[in-house]
Every structure is written in C-alpha cells, then in structure tokens.
Amino acid sequence: MICVDGHAFLYSLFIEPKRALLTKKFRKHCQYDGCCTDFSGEKSPPCKSCRMKKCIRMGMNSQSLQIQHNTKIAQSLEIVVGRPHSIIFTTNDYKKRNYVDVNNLVSQAYQILKFGAPTPLNNKMSQLEKMAFGVTYSTKKCIKLDLISKESFSKIWEFDFFSAARWLTHLDDFSTLPLTIQMQLLQAIWHVFGRLYKTGKTADLRKHNGNKSKTMNLSDKYYVEMEKTKFDMSWLTHYPLEQIKLFLFGENEDDCGSGKMIDTIISLELSEIELTYMTAQLCFQYAMSRFSGTEMSNICDRFQSILDNDLHEYYMRSSNLNKNYAWRLSQMLKINQNMQKSIRMHREKAIIARTFDIFIADYSHPEMFKDFLQKPHKVEVGEDLDVWKVEFSHPAVFKDNL
C-alpha cells in the first residue's frame, strides 16, 4: 500500500480513485523538488504530485480503476427500492444449511416499542381494555392461502412479532420499562401471543364461515384450510412433511387438543376483553416460568395482577352480571393449561431434535431462539445428523414456536 492515511481510502498498487488519476491534468509541483517519501500524512499532508508519480511508477494504470470493475450484484426488488425484507432467508451452500436473518424485524419492532402506543386511548379505559382494542382485527376480509412457503412464514412471523409489540405498548406499566427489558420480554412471548390470540380468531373465522373444516387463521390477511393447503417445507427440512408431523405430533395431528380448544372458544363466545386476558395470562405465565427467579418474573407477576383486577371490574359491570364469572374464568384457564401443555410438548421435541440435529439450525443471535431450533454448542449424545436446515438471527424469538 502506498497511501495509509486515516482520512482517505487505501490505494492498492493497481487501483486508485478515478478522481485522483483523471480529474487533474495540471498538478501543483512538489515543494521539495519531487523528493517526497512519506505519504502517511502523520507529519504533514502527503504530496499529491509525488504520490501519483510513485503510484504510476509502481504499476498503477487507468484500466484498473475500481469504478470500472464489472462486478455483478444480484438484483432484487429490495435492492432496487432500498427496502429489505424484515426477515431474510439465505443459504450456505458449503454447509448446505439455511439462515434466517431477522435483524430488520427486531429493529422495526424496537421502533414500535420506542414510540409506544400509536393512538392514545380513552384514559377511562382499563389497561386490559386498551390492550384488547389496540390490536384487534376482523377475519371477514382474510383470503385463503393455497400454498404455505417460506415467504408465507416470513409474513406470518412479521405479523405476530409486530402485533405483539403493539399489543404490549398498550399496557401502561410495560411502557415505563427500559427498552432493553421491553425487547427481552417481547422476544420471549411473541410466539405465545400469536398462538393463542390467533386460536381465538380461528374460532371467530369458523363461526362466521359456518363450516366444520380445519380452517385456521394466520394473520389479519390470511387463513388456510388445513385439509387442502399445500406446504413447501424444502427451505426448512430435507424430510417429507408427513415425517415431520409424525415426529412432532405422533399419529394424532391435533396438537394437544387444539380442535377442542377452538370448539370451547366458539361455545363460550369470548369477547375481545376475555380473549385478551387469556392471551396476556398465558404470555406472562410463560415468561414467569422462563425467567423464574429474576426481576422479569416479578415484572410479569405485577402485570398479571393489574389485568386480574381489570377483568374483575369488567365482570362486575351491569351488562356482564348475567355471565357466570367463575365458570367462564375456569374454562378460559383450562384452555390456557392445554396451550401450556402444547408448548411443553414442543419444547421436549425440540430438545430431541437439537440433540440429534434434526433441526439444521445456526443463529447469529442464539439468545432469541433459546430452547427452540437451536444447535447446541456441544452435543452430548454424538455428532450432528442435520435434518432441519434453518437458522435464525434471533433464536429467542422462535423459542417453543415452529
């Protein structure tokens, strides 16, 4: 290298900036009669005339300008418009593994948490009511997906993560926490939020559709008919979908009675307040268990106490006095217990999968995927068998969620 000054780009023997070589036909003469040897710029500004002469003497030529290199960059819509996806899928051909980068997803969620609830709600509303009306959506305009692919998963994960972030911002006490604690809680519970809240929306969808098919709500835009929808899981595993389903659920595909849970929700005709309470109770209970013995556990316990009182006030209103408070609450908590059982079942499956590397998963931020799809640093039971081939940049986001 000829130029090593800290305030300019490094110039190689064969590459100089176009401006330095072509723009000045008449350069100033050297003040030291062309005898400069120090081009570091540490003692004095380097002499441009002597520097250029030495570059040419050492072999630099105008045909090797860096700006003239014909480097081909793969074009995509995101590159052209400058707006990358929140979740980026890439493949490591050498390792034959996939990689999921959710840095953009987390960055956008951070902004949601930073700015807080987008619309100030009535101060007379309880915190439970604010959370209920903060993220609710109708399933009437949802369209059916005939194929679930990695693009579909990306959209669903994005919807779940952002929805959970907005949902939490409507809890006043949550917004007073440091942003690092807010993000830690969000990364832990986002998939629990999506699983239960969309189970409630699935009940709403089936009720309005008037059929008994296995219709499942995925987001505010999409739903699927499980008996007819096709799945492209080639980005996720080498194994056929049927084998993966057998591993996860056994011969019974009903994930710990999800069909019964949906039927119970339909029969209960849950209000948005009740569905929000169920979702919060499951999320905070899950976080208390995951962060047991830490300040995070105490925070979630405090949140739960606030929402318990809000639910009691909700049932004490004259319009709700005719409801069987105790019975409805017991049914709601029973649904949550079944959901917790489902999460524990997936955790046990994930431990087995990681041990034998059924999930081929590497992560740029393993803490976000703790306890799920994470390749351990050390395998006690043998070498990697590599079945799943998905990696996530933030593993904690996908804990217990497939």
pLDDT computed for residue 54 by the predictor: 79
- What is the model's pLDDT at position 69? 43
Q: What is the pLDDT of residue 292?
A: 93
Report the pLDDT value the prediction gives residue 64, as an integer from 0 to 100. 55
Other beta carbons within 10 Å of 257: 16
Q: How many other C-beta atoms can be found within 10 angstroms of the C-beta atom of residue 306?
A: 17
User: From CA 372, how far away is CA 394, in angstroms rounded?
Assistant: 11
pLDDT at 10: 39
How far is the C-alpha of 253 from the C-alpha of 312, rounded, in Å? 37
- Pairing, β 215-217 against β 222-225: antiparallel
Cα(109)–Cα(185) distance, rounded to whole angstroms?
Answer: 12
Q: Domain spanning 88-398: which superfamily?
A: Retinoid X Receptor (1.10.565.10)
DSSP one-letter string for 278-338: HHHHHHHHHHHHHTTTSHHHHHHHHHHHHHHHHHHHHHTSGGGTTS-HHHHHHHHHHHHHH
What's the confidence (pLDDT) of residue 25? 46
Query: What digits encode the pLDDT tens for the residues 144-191?
Result: 999 998 889 889 888 989 999 999 999 999 999 999 999 999 999 988
Instruction: Specify the domain boundaries for CATH 1.10.565.10 within the chain.
Output: 88-398
- The sign of the dihedral angle between the CA atoms of 292, 134, 259, 333 is positive
pLDDT recorded at residue 303 = 97
pLDDT in tens, the chain (402 residues): 555 444 433 344 444 444 444 444 445 677 777 777 776 665 556 777 787 887 777 777 655 554 444 444 444 445 444 545 777 777 776 667 778 888 888 899 999 999 998 776 677 889 999 999 878 888 888 889 999 988 898 898 889 899 999 999 999 999 999 999 999 999 999 888 988 988 998 888 888 776 566 788 999 889 998 888 898 877 777 777 787 777 766 666 555 557 888 889 989 988 899 999 999 999 999 999 989 999 999 999 999 999 999 999 999 886 766 678 889 999 999 999 988 888 888 777 777 776 666 666 566 666 666 655 444 333 333 333 344 455 566 666 665 554
Contact 224, 144 (CB under 8 A): yes
